[in-house]
Amino acid sequence: MSHTATLTEKDTLAFHLEKNIDVLARKCYQCGKCSAGCPVAGEMDFSPSMVMRLLQTETPANDEKTLRSYSIWLCLTCEMCLCRCPMEIDIPSVMDFLRQKSLKEKKVNPKARRIIAFHKSFLNSIKYTGRLFELGLTLDYKRRSLTLMQDVALAPRMISRGKLHFIPEIIKGRPQVAKIFKKTSKKEN
Partner 1 sequence: MARIGVFICHCGENISATVDCAKVAETIGKLRHVVLSTEYKYMCSDPGQTLIKDAIKEYNLTGVVVSACSPRMHEPTFRRACAEAGLNPYMCEMANLREHCSWVHEKNDITTEKAIDIVRTQVEKVKLNYALQPIKVPVTRRALVIGGGIAGIQAALDIANTGHRVVMVERSPSIGGHMSQLSETFPTLDCSQCILTPRMVEVAQHPNITLYTYAEVESVEGFIGNFKVKIRKKAKSLDEKICTGCGLCTTKCPQKKIPNEFEQGMGNRPAIYIPFPQAVPNKPVIDRENCTYYIKGKCKVCEIVCPTKAIRFDQPDEILDLDIGAIVIATGFDVKHADFFPEYGYGKYKDVIDGLQFERLASASGPTSGAILRPSDGQVPKNIVFVACAGSRDPAKGIEYCSKICCMYTAKHAMLYKHKVHEGKAYIFYMDIRAAGKNYEEFVRRAIEEDHVEYVRGRISTIYEKNGKLIVKGADTLLGGQPVEVEADMVVLATAGVANSGAEELAQKLHVSYDSHKFFAEAHPKLKPVETNTAGIFLAGACQNPKDIPDSVSQASGAAVKVAGLFSQDELTREPLVAQVNRMAPPLYSTCVGCFLCQPVCPYQAIEREEFKARDGKLIKAVAKINEGLCQGCGTCVALCRSKSIDLHGYSNQQVYAEVMALLNEY
DSSP state, residue 151: T
Of residues 31 and 159, the one with the C-beta less far from partner 1: 31
DSSP state, residue 161: T
- Shortest Å, Cβ 49 to partner 1: 5
- Is the torsion defined by CA of 71, 75, 80, 81 positive or negative? positive
- Shortest Å, Cβ 89 to partner 1: 10
- Shortest Å, Cβ 114 to partner 1: 23
d(CA 187, CA 176): 17
Q: What does the buried/exposed string (b/e) look like for 66-101 if buried means 16 or more CB atoms within 10 Å of the residue's CB?
A: bbbbbbbbbbeeeebbbeebeeebbbbbbbebbbeb
Of residues 111 and 165, the one with the C-beta less far from partner 1: 111
- Shortest Å, Cβ 37 to partner 1: 3
Of residues 50 and 94, the one with the C-beta less far from partner 1: 50
| Binding footprint of partner 1 on the chain (CB under 8 A) | 29-38, 41-42, 46-50, 80, 84-88
Of residues 87 and 180, the one with the C-beta less far from partner 1: 87
